[in-house]
A and B are shown apart, each in its own frame.
Chain A
Amino acid sequence: MDVFDTFLNMAVLKRSLPMLLDGLWLTLQLGAASIVAGLVLGLVVALLRLYAVAPVRILMRIYIDIFRSIPLLVLLIVVYYALPFVGLRLTAFVSAMTALTLVSGAYTAEIFRAGIEAIPNGQFEASAALGLSHRHTMFDVILPQAVRIVIPPLTNNSINVVKDTALASVVAMPDLLKQATQAQALAANPTPLIGAALIYLAFLWPLVLLVSYLERHFNSGRRR
């Protein structure tokens, strides 16, 4: 009984639920915005990394390597606390989204590159022989095939982005985790934290199952 009163106190949970849902809503907005921006950034970076002139290709490699190396928390704190010293003051949401997007874009770029490189050279040659432009070759022939390959790893990356949104609580953004810690302080009871953990699980577990399914589905698709 005591354990339930402490860790799963229904009265506390009920009182803190509106706060948690506010936080969840912000977490989902931040996650979705960063995922979409990271996808666009990653696709552009992947194409430049593969097909641009040499100096741009090198720049893209450096970008990819830097943002896969830097800890997200460090990047987030740099964006939020250090940039104001050079006159760039971003809101907590924009800071968090910037950091998440930069990192997700780097991973996404590598995923797209691997996907494009997995397409047999004959597809590029057939497109060239037909007179298709680079743009049409990419958008009509290569990317539609590459997307099938990259969907499982991209979904996986998206899960990581949603998980990493929790770091935004350190720059005082009232996301799910931040709201939970505040509700915990108000109620002097850890139940809201458990509630937040359960909400993360409820959203991410199905996505993890989805990735497993997609991996099986697309693998069997290719073997067919």
Chain B
Amino acid sequence: MARIELNNIAKSYGSVEVLRDVNLTIEDGEFIVLVGPSGCGKSTLLRMIAGLEPITGGEFQVDGRRMNEVPPRDRDMAMVFQSYALYPHMDVARNMGFSLEIRKAQKEERSRKIADAARTLGLSSLTERLPRALSGGQRQRVAMGRAIVRDPSAFLFDEPLSNLDAALRVEMRLEIARLHQRLNATMIYVTHDQVEALTLADRIVVLNAGDIQQVGTPLDLYERPSNKFVAQFIGSPTMNILGIDQAENGVKLKDGTLLKVGSEQERRRAHELGVRPEHLDVVAEDAAHMKGVAELVEHLGSDTNIHANVPGVGPVLVRQHGHYPLRAGEAVNIAVDLEKSHLFGVEGQRL
């Protein structure tokens, strides 16, 4: 059990600044997911929490105690590496029990905990195998097992599922969610995959180029992104960003169409309009805000993605629920859900 506090945490390698001014409080038992594009510093932040990377600025506290200089072995945190990092010369049981072995736990206790973890993860029949004789998914489970036998105060995951195929990923995701419910431990989870982020997280932290962009619940980020970056990063397919001009009692799309959105004060600083594909609708001609031509239609079964080109406005992606009978080359009339669209300022901030 641990409450983790990051106060003005910074990291630089020589003159290269990788993380700046990270402030975050993680409550005991909370599931936090770190997301962001490649190279934004997610792994670095996680490794600083684990103690594998020196912290070059700010203070890191666990339950109110400063931990900056505490070596990894005394931080009581378990980590699951993206590469799994199983000890190749030890069998599955010893891999999972290694931390107990190092801490000189009683033999019976050790075997009991290993057996428990193996049962939870469906590895009971594999305990005598070496890692090289396991499949990718099984290795992943062993890596998880190594973390759970310890009963640590916090779990750290660095893209633990990124090497698995899609089906296994979904299964392991549920496994991790179940694990969190059962253990109720603090978990910090790094991923690129926004489905993982949205389904697992109590709160999501969006990082970009070393800065925290926004911290919030999945729904917060979806409905109230604090800026254009978050708006485009969360949600799939990506939000449409349309250029606008200011007008008397609304904003004008580049083709001149007037949309009545935002308060007057917001409109005065508005620079772009963001609308998610699911908040655009194909409608009859007289109700349309935009008239375009479908360039590509993707039939996904549950949804239909219509990539349209609207003269004067540019490419627009519309998502229709279910199967929508439309073919490439046909005309589409698109209506904007004005309630659910966002205005962004020149710097990308949401108004």
The judgment on whether A and B are partners is no
